[in-house]
Each structure stands twice: as C-alpha cells, then as structure tokens.
Amino acid sequence: MVYYPLMKSAKANVVVAIPTNGSDGREHLSGVFDYVSEHPHWMVQTINMRTAIVNGTLYDALKGADGLILYIAYDIDRLADTIISENPHLKIVVTNEYLVPLFAKHPYCRSLLIDSISVGKDAARYFNSLGRFASYGFVHGAIRFPWSIEREKGFRSAMPRNTPLFEFPKSKSGTVQTGPEAPTISLDELATWLDRLPKPTAVFGANDLFAAKVLTVCDQLGFKVPGQVTVIGCDNDPLVFSNTIPPLSSLQLPFRELGYKAAATLDKLLHHRNPSRRTIHVAGTHLFGRGSSAHIPPATALVEKAREYIAEHACDGIRPNDVIAHVGVSRSLLNLRFRQASGKSINEDIIDVRLAEVCQQLERTDHTILQIGRDCGFNDPDHLKRLFKKRFGATMRQYRSQSTGR
C-alpha cells in the first residue's frame, strides 16, 4: 500500500487498485492522477499488485476508506460480497467488465468501461479500408475475457457481409479467468487454425500479446505479412510492437481518459452528486499502422519511424534532436506530425518508454533504483523520482514492494 498525501488536509481517503504490469494499467493510473493533480483533495492509496485480493492487501486498505477505483479482478469473487456488506457507504467506481455484475447491487457503485464493441468495429473498419479479404480471423487468446467477447461482437458487426469469420480458440467454454496464472495460447493449435484460413486473411488480436503470437506463427509457417495475412492488435504497447517482425499495427485505447473520467465520477459520488447512469462507456481509438498491415501513409510512416527509434533507443539517453536526425526531416514537420498522430510530443514519448522500462526492471530485477535509473536513460535521480511519483502515485521503492512483495 502506498499513501500519497495530495494536500495537508485531505478530505477523502481513496484506494486506487489498478495493476501496472501492462501499458493499459499504467495509462489508466496516469489518467487517475491527471485528475487528482487538478483536484488535490484526496489521500490516495495505490495498489498495483494483481495478487492484492489473494494476499489481503485490498481488504486491509479499505478499512477507513471513503472511495475505491477498482480494476483488479483476480480472485475478486470471494471478496466482492464482503466489500459490499462491510462497506455500505463506500463509493466505488469499477473499470473492468468482469466486476460490473459483482458490484451491481451496491447503491454507490458506478462502472466506467472501455467501449469494447466500438473497439471491434474500429478494427473491422480499418480492415475494410484496406480492401477485400477472403476471410477474417479473431484471436481471443487461450480464454475469453468479457472485453474480448465484446470486441469480437463489434468486429463481427462491422465486417463485410458474406465474409467468413473464424475465431480462435473455437471452444467458447471457460470464458473467465480470475486467477493470477492465466493459460497461454498454444502456438501449435494457433498454427493449425491460421493455416486453414482462406487467404488473404485479416486477423484481429483482442490485444497486442495475442496478435504478436499470430505474427510468430506467420513467420514459422512462412506466410507473407501483410500479403497473405494482415494483422492488427490492440493496446499499442511499445514493449510488444517494437519486438515483433514485422512491427505490429495496433489500436491505442483511451485508458488514460478512462482513468481520468473514473476519478471524476468517484469525486461526484464522494460529493453526493450521484451520476444517473450506472454504466458509462468510453470510446475512441487510434490506429497506429505498421508493417503488419497494408500500405502505410507517408505521414504515418514518418511518425512510426520516429517511434520505433524511440522504442529501441529511449533508454540510451537520446533526446528529441537525435530522433529528428534519425528521421531526417525538419524539426517543425516532425513535431507537427508526431503530435497529430500520437497526441503527445517527441520528448513525452521518450519519457513514457523510459518509465515503462523502469517499471519492468523494478518488477523483474534486483538492480538498485539508482542503477535502474541510469539503465533507463535518467541521469538525474531526483528528476526520475518526481516523474515516477507524479505518474504512478508511488515512489519506486513502494512500487517494487507492491509488485514483488520485496
């Protein structure tokens, strides 16, 4: 648990339980703190461990809490009724589809969710813009999460008529996995499935990890990408798309906006201004086209060349000038195209990649915090400390303790 006082006389104790092992969680948490920095009247406890329910961390944190933003779902079934019965006045905002029915009977609970149906529709529309395909594929992963099922529904609804859709896996059993150890995709089974799809085919992975598996199998089978198989993923995770061959095209989801709106909704509940809608969906995606899909427009290719360079070299201490020199265009043109395409500056993208790597090293290595900072391109330890706490609401030492139990 991390206590983050936002002002000397905090008015509300708020627990924010969002796992940060993926880019979605980190963006989600950043959105919460974007709101909190503008409205500094909370005392915040952040919990970023997926096992926070199993080990009792969440239960203990809720003692004396006024509000809760909850995204962690692993093993929540056994605790949901307890949270409701023991905290009848707790204001709750859930941001995970699986949690909605579990907390539906709580009078002060609201749900904010990524509009997964619109995500699926956006993916299908992008494929439609590329031309006709003999078949479409949708990869759920080894199991089917609620958000994956919704994305498949949206994808199916926006596909061209009379074009077959093949789902992986075929079985629709076992739709929910709430334990910390999720089953993995069998590459052999995925290869058999992909080999049977009529070509050319367009495959949408419900997230980047699933789509990356498709690219791995394409390489094993010798399929041309995007000639025979066109692939896009979802989440636009730099730790994934920068490590696939070819680089993975991906939909970036509005997780930061989701976090911001979740905090704003909780603030209304805490001030007894109950939103009339119990469930609010947040829509809006941006497709980053890369080598796994069809022709990339010049402006997009320019930005992606810059972002791929950043993903590979951010931790080497590069600056925006190095990126501009690598791309070989004027500063003004790259700055303009970069902000149009990504919604942030070149320097902000460099910082985001570095902070993501800091999180990975805190979770996976025993390196000192000073060494991690240097390895990730931060030469000023104090600057890194300020950035990290502002972004994640915790010190690096606290983050490591929560993530690893060390």
User: In this predicted model, what pLDDT tens digit does every residue of 372-406 receive, in sequence order?
Assistant: 999 999 999 999 999 998 888 889 998 888 777 66
Least confident of 101-105, 184-188, 283-287: 184-188
pLDDT at residue number 406: 65
pLDDT at 198 over 80: yes
pLDDT at residue number 210: 95
pTM for the whole structure: 0.72
pLDDT at residue number 39: 86
Backbone φ, ψ for residue 11 (5° rounding): -95, -20
pLDDT at 2 over 70: no
More confident call, 340 vs 225:
225
Identify the CATH number of the domain defined by range 2-115+255-284: 3.40.50.2300
Closest to 286 (Cα-Cα) out of 263, 256, 320: 256
pLDDT at residue number 183: 66
CA atoms in the 13 A half-sphere facing the CB of 21: 12
Mean pLDDT of 290-307: 78
pLDDT at residue number 297: 65
What 8-state DSSP symbol labels residue 314? G
Q: CA distances (Å), 301 to each of 243, 291, 296, 334, 356, in order?
A: 17, 9, 6, 11, 23
Question: What token pair was written down for 128?
Answer: 């439609």
Strand partners, 94: 70, 111
Least confident of 4-8, 152-156, 317-321, 375-379: 4-8
Least confident of 2-6, 187-191, 298-302: 2-6
- Work out the burial of residue 376: count CB atoms within 10 Å of its CB; fewer than 13 is exposed, 13-18 middle, 19 or more buried: buried
pLDDT at 280 over 70: yes
pLDDT at 311 over 90: no
Omega before residue 101 within 30° of 0, cis: no
More confident call, 245 vs 6:
245
More confident call, 265 vs 4:
265
pLDDT at 178 over 60: no
Domains 2-115+255-284 and 298-404 share a fold: no
Identify the CATH number of the domain defined by range 298-404: 1.10.10.60
- pLDDT tier for residue 115 given thresholds of 50, 70 and 90: very high
Condensed to tens digits (0 to 9), the pLDDT of residues 19-38 reads 888 888 999 999 999 999 99
Sheet bearing 201-205, strands edge to edge: 165-168, 135-139, 201-205, 229-234, 249-252, 286-288
Condensed to tens digits (0 to 9), the pLDDT of residues 143-177 reads 888 899 999 999 999 998 888 999 999 766 444 44
Closest to 15 (Cα-Cα) out of 55, 42, 39, 34: 42
- Work out the burial of residue 130: count CB atoms within 10 Å of its CB; fewer than 13 is exposed, 13-18 middle, 19 or more buried: middle
- pLDDT tier for residue 201 given thresholds of 50, 70 and 90: very high
Neighbours of 20 (CB within 10 A): 29
Boundaries of every domain in the chain:
2-115+255-284, 116-253, 298-404
CATH class of 116-253: alpha beta
Q: What is the mean pLDDT of the chain?
A: 88
388 by DSSP, 3-state: which? helix
Closest to 116 (Cα-Cα) out of 76, 157, 80: 157
pLDDT at 9 over 80: no
